A and B are shown apart, each in its own frame.
Chain A
Amino acid sequence: MDLRYTEAEEAFRAELVAWLDDVLPHVPPEPRRDDWAGRRAWDTAWQRMLYDAGYAGINWPREYGGRGATPTEHLIFLEETERRHAPYVGHNFVGLLHAGPTLIAEATEEQKAFHLPAILRGEHVWCQGFSEPGAGSDLASLRTRAVRDGDEYVINGSKIWTSFGHNADYCEMLVRTDPDAPKHKGISWLILPMDLPGIDPRPLPTMENSTEFCEVYFDDVRVPVANRVGAENDGWRVTMVTLSFERGTAFVSEMLIAMELTRELAGLAKRITSHGATRWDDAGLRRDIGRLSGELDALWALTKRNVSQAQRSGLVGTGGNVFKLAYTDLLHRLGDLAMHTINRASLSMDDLGELGTGKFVLHRIHGLSLSIAAGTTQINKNIVAERILGLPKDR
């Protein structure tokens, strides 16, 4: 057990840092939150820069154009890019972290040759068509139908929580191809070009009033059978294969932001005065900050453990569920504490005066989504109880 980085890992870091210091001053300012065309261009331009420097698809195998970095190098990459506030994966999220790895594992050589380089270069943006209005935590109950008609599928139904659905070129899509089979056995995984007739993405504003999410409607959308990945009715397994690509790094950037916010909150508490004392004079607040920052130190260590286990065995296992439960709970408490600390300034998502409080309000809202997205806290607790503690499956 050794938490220090090896010489090779430090050499990787040094090379990366030198490159980041070189290019980051030339990255234009981030577009406004609701400028979706601008955001797409900004995100994909960064992806192209990564590609040209050999950092695109950092954890992808070399034979598919990736860097083939170890999980530890991936951790270092995320650590250094986040510390320097480099652009985040943004519009490239689904392609790089989800659809791409699925294609690598399950697609035909022809499908791989067409799609993988375009994802790496930032030319194709992907979105995800998994959840439905009637299929959330119980994803396998999805009902969007794909009916075979010659060498095409005809798709009818709707998908929800489709990030960048109005801005994407392709959708990784789960459809029901056999309604009579048990629910996990009648699903297929399709590559869906988003410019086909009959696709209608409608923005679904979040409680931040951001329009990143879409609800996407499908009305007799015809897609070639050749766009299927894996066998017909084998789509659930194809999806599960992708989940095994997780190497314990899913929330690293997130967590570094939370660490920075916790430090900034302590600084803010020292500057805000009311009733003749600063917020920092309140021992209760100091204890809350101490517990949050200690927990973040522990979660950083847990990330390193998950990454180490992935490096050894190729799998994170249940450490990922433990991490997400602890992290999202922490995030809610950090958000609450920030709101109490800035009190009346919490009424605005924009900064008021010099205090820089807007980000705490936005981050508080963001935290509410994290305990729901990618498996709610309640589903995660069921998983921990059943898979780690061995309690019986029962709803």
Chain B
Amino acid sequence: MDFDLDDDDLAIQAGIRSFCAGRFPIEVVRRGELTDSVVDTDRWREIAEMGVFAIGGDGLTRRQAALAFEELGRALVPGPLVDTALAAQVSAAAAAGDLIAVLLHEPDPVAVVEFPAQARAVLRLADDGVHLAEGVTLDATSVERPLDALTPVGLLRTPPPAGDLVGGADVAARMTVDALVLTAAQQVGLAAGATELATAYAKERQQFGRVIGAFQAVKHLLADMLVKAEVARVAVHAAACAADGAGDGDPLHLARVAKMLAGDAALFCGKTGIQVHGGMGFTWEVDAQRYWKRACVLDTHLANGDRLAELVAAAG
């Protein structure tokens, strides 16, 4: 047993981190806010060229993919990254970064789709298998004020085309695990990013004649954030190892645990990060809000924390 990152893992992590720093600095990410083209198609292709959408087979292992998606989450890279990575397993265009795919979630309570203007493929994971409709345009009413300015949403007017059955129930089951693990990895990235931003602020913001990070009340908030993010991170790595066939336990169960804990951690760290920033945390210009809002978006994906907790309990 060796549950520690090896040199290959560390190289992939460092590679994606420096890619994000170079191509997705926060000023670039913010530029897409409240536009119809949040996803810059050139940069989307570059993400594909980095190999992030190539998972399994000759591509990334699940644990390497988890490391990559954590970095994408930390950098707040916008776009349906997990959805497109799943589609890439059955679509060459998605794998090449030529196609933006969205995963259809349950209409609960309404049929909301993400990236309605830019999505050109719809993926659905059903009991009978994986359905993919490629080259489609969604018939949806775009929302003027999405919660996350980097995640445009629309209300579907008509159901999207059913598409073709491109994989059986076994493929759908594997993709469900992948979707849970990769989303959870992004959520860990959000939690870590929010913690790093708040920590940096606490080291520089002065009140009462000293930096606020010297006060235990603030220190303890930041320690709570770090603990939540770390525990969620090991849950994601354990789930990714299981999905790779090198784990200890049932992959679906561990994937649910990972997304439940990572989702809770992202929401907690997002919210607490805003608190540490004080009044500035409530402003548009400070990025603390961006981590929290993205965390809110990802929590609704596949199944939210409460739903996952019930599923985990039922598996007991």
Contacts and interface: CB of A to CB of B under 8 A. Distances in A.
A1 B220 contact: no
Interface in A1-24: 1-6, 9
A276 B219 CA distance: 47
A290 B263 CA distance: 14
Contacts of B2: 1-2, 308, 311-312
Nearest to A262: B316
Nearest to B4: A308
Interface in A279-305: 283, 286-291, 293-295, 297-299, 301-302, 304-305
Given A286-B313, A291-B260, 13 more contacts: A1-B237, A3-B247, A4-B247, A266-B316, A288-B309, A290-B308, A290-B312, A293-B313, A294-B308, A294-B309, A384-B227, A392-B203, A392-B211
Contact of A308 (B1, B223, B260): B1
Contacts of B306: 287
Contacts of B3: 1-3, 301, 304-305, 307-308
Interface residues of B, number: 56
Interface of B: 1-6, 9, 63, 195, 199, 202-203, 210-211, 213-216, 219-220, 222-224, 226-228, 230-232, 234-235, 237-238, 241-242, 246-249, 253-254, 256-258, 260-261, 264, 306, 308-314, 316
17 contacts: A1-B4, A2-B2, A3-B3, A4-B1, A263-B316, A286-B309, A286-B310, A288-B309, A290-B314, A294-B309, A297-B253, A298-B232, A307-B3, A308-B4, A322-B230, A391-B202, A391-B203
A305 B2 CA distance: 8
A275 interface: no
Nearest to A299: B231
B232 A9 contact: no
**Interface majority SS (helix, strand, loop, mixed), chain B:** helix
B210 A302 contact: no
Interface in A38-85: 72
Given A3-B242, A394-B210, A302 B223 contact: no
Contacts of B216: 378, 381-382, 395
Contact of B223 (A1, A72, A297, A385): A385
Contact of A382 (B1, B219, B248, B249): B219
Interface string A379-395: 01110111011111011
B222 A378 contact: no
A304 B1 CA distance: 8
Contacts of B222: 385, 389, 391
A295 B261 contact: yes
Interface string A353-395: 0000000000000000000000000101110111011111011
A167 interface: no
A326 B311 contact: no
B220 A326 contact: no
Pairs A-B, 9 closest by C-beta atoms: A290-B309, A290-B313, A394-B214, A385-B219, A298-B235, A301-B238, A290-B312, A381-B223, A294-B257
Interface residues of A, number: 50
Contacts of A301: 3, 234-235, 237-238
Contacts of A309: 4
B1 A384 contact: no
A298 B254 CA distance: 9
B312 A384 contact: no
B241 A302 contact: no
Contacts of B214: 391-392, 394
A97 interface: no
A199 interface: no
Given A290-B309, A308-B1, A378-B216, A388 B316 contact: no
Contacts of B237: 1, 301, 305
B227 A325 contact: yes
Given A322-B226, A391-B219, A3 B246 contact: yes
A290 B310 contact: yes
Contacts of A390: 199, 203
A290 B202 contact: no
A172 B261 CA distance: 41
Contacts of B253: 297
Contact of A4 (B195, B224, B246, B260): B246
B6 to A, nearest CB: 6
Which of A291, A311, A319, A385 has the most chain B CB atoms closer than 10 A to its own CB?
A385
A305 B224 CA distance: 20
Contacts of A311: 2
A283 B254 CA distance: 21
A9 B316 contact: no
B226 A3 contact: no
Contacts of B4: 1, 305, 308-309, 312
B231 A322 contact: yes
A72 B4 CA distance: 13
Given A290-B308, A295-B261, A385-B219, A1 B5 contact: yes
A304 B238 CA distance: 10
Contacts of A263: 316
Nearest to B307: A287
Which of B1, B247, B258, B314 has the most chain A CB atoms closer than 10 A to its own CB?
B1
A338 to B, nearest CB: 15
Interface in A192-210: none
Contacts of A386: 219
B30 to A, nearest CB: 26
Contacts of B312: 290-291, 293-294
Contacts of A389: 195, 199, 213, 222-223, 226
